């Protein structure tokens, strides 16, 4: 087994402190949680930001700036990955389905990558996916994806291609063929999400078989699937993602006390399987950063 890169998704849109008090909200909390995760073995930290007062997801540049600055000013060596997922939530108005309802949050592709162009993280996510969610559509049109990918490429930031089903891989391969995404591509299989690909070994095998031959891949399962997918991905030669964005529990009925605890458990699983955990320096070399 090659060494396994662990990514930690520190905080996202769905998890909130009322579900688990360990979910970080302020830029200081998010950065400190990311730093602790890096010390626990995460080579990559994947960060969203939240409004410190409302605790709701945010796209504010200055919040991203504070998180990035705090992580970069720390004494840890870690790869910074900023999300570009927000700004693609569409819910049709009941009065006119052609118009967005008040529950929508749609932004221009330029707005969605604004913080990436300004802060230039090592990596940023690129959700090559349009799909139904619980009460809305996660909407990423080909035109918007092409614009975002072009901006990301010109900023010399590596996209983490997030795919939630097999068709998303085909879309990403087309973008790679068109030169919008540089090689080697880095894919993240997002498994167990509502109406996406299930979190199973069979899914991983199928999605892995569809990748370009030089692709680097990682996988995560949400909620109770987080650690089974860690084991499966590591054994199949991939990399893994854990974190409070995807799962709030350390084990059945036990809330995770921190992102670091989730990373530590992932590292233990990898070691028990006979593998090793990649350092940030090793991850940089393999990802071509």
Q: Which two tokens stand for residue 90?
A: 């569409």
- Residue of 22, 25, 46 whose CA lies nearest to 34: 46
Mean pLDDT of 278-288: 97
d(CA 261, CA 8) in angstroms, rounded, equals: 11
Q: Is 75 exposed, middle or buried (0-12, 13-18, 19+ CB in 10 A)?
A: exposed
Q: What is the reported pLDDT for 2?
A: 85
Mean pLDDT of 41-45: 98
d(CA 110, CA 128) in angstroms, rounded, equals: 16
Domains located in the chain, CATH noted: 6-287 (3.20.20.70)
pLDDT tens by residue, 255-267 = 999 999 999 999 9
Per-residue DSSP letter, 4: B
Query: In degrees rounded to 5, what are phi and psi of residue 58?
Result: -135, 160
Mean pLDDT of 35-48: 98
pLDDT tens by residue, 186-215 = 999 999 999 999 999 999 999 999 999 999
Q: Is the pLDDT score of 134 beyond 90?
A: no
Q: What is the reported pLDDT for 1?
A: 75
pLDDT tens by residue, 5-36 = 999 999 998 888 999 999 999 999 999 999 99
Q: Is the pLDDT score of 120 beyond 90?
A: yes
Tell me the pairing of strands 186-191 and 216-221.
parallel
Mean pLDDT of 92-120: 94
- Residue of 275, 226, 274 whose CA lies nearest to 246: 226
Q: Using omega within 30 degrees of 0 as the cis cutoff, is the peptide bond preceding 273 cis?
A: no
For residue 191, the cross-strand partners are: 221
Q: What is the reported pLDDT for 177?
A: 96
d(CA 21, CA 205) in angstroms, rounded, equals: 36
pTM value is 0.96
If one counts every other C-beta atom within 10 angstroms of the C-beta of residue 198, the result is 12
Q: What's the chain's average pLDDT?
A: 96
């Amino acid at each position: 087994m090659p060494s396994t890169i662990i990514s930690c998704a520190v905080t996202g849109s769905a998890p909130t402190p009322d579900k688990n008090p360990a979910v970080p909200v302020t830029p200081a909390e998010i950065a400190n949680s990311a730093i602790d995760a890096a010390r626990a073995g995460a080579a990559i930290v994947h960060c969203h930001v939240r409004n410190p007062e409302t605790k709701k997801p945010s796209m504010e540049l200055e919040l991203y700036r504070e998180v990035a600055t705090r992580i970069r000013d720390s004494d840890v060596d870690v790869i910074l990955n900023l999300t570009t997922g927000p700004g693609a939530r569409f819910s049709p108005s009941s009065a006119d389905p052609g118009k967005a309802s008040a529950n929508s949050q749609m932004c221009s592709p330029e707005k969605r990558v604004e913080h990436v162009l300004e802060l230039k993280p090592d990596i940023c996510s690129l959700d090559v996916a349009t799909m139904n969610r619980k009460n809305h559509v996660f909407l990423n049109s080909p035109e918007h994806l092409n614009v975002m990918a072009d901006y990301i490429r010109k900023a010399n930031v590596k996209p983490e291609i997030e795919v939630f089903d097999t068709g998303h891989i085909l879309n990403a391969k087309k973008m790679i063929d068109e030169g919008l995404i540089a090689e080697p591509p880095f894919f993240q299989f997002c498994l167990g999400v509502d109406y996406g690909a299930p979190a199973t070994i069979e899914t991983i095998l199928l999605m892995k078989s569809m990748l370009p031959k030089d692709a680097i891949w990682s996988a995560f399962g949400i909620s109770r699937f987080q650690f089974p997918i860690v084991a499966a991905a590591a054994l199949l030669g991939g990399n893994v993602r854990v974190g409070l964005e995807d799962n709030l529990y350390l084990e059945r009925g036990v809330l995770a006390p921190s992102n670091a605890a989730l990373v530590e458990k992932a590292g233990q699983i990898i070691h028990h399987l006979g593998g090793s955990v990649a350092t940030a320096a090793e991850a940089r070399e393999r990802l071509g950063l």
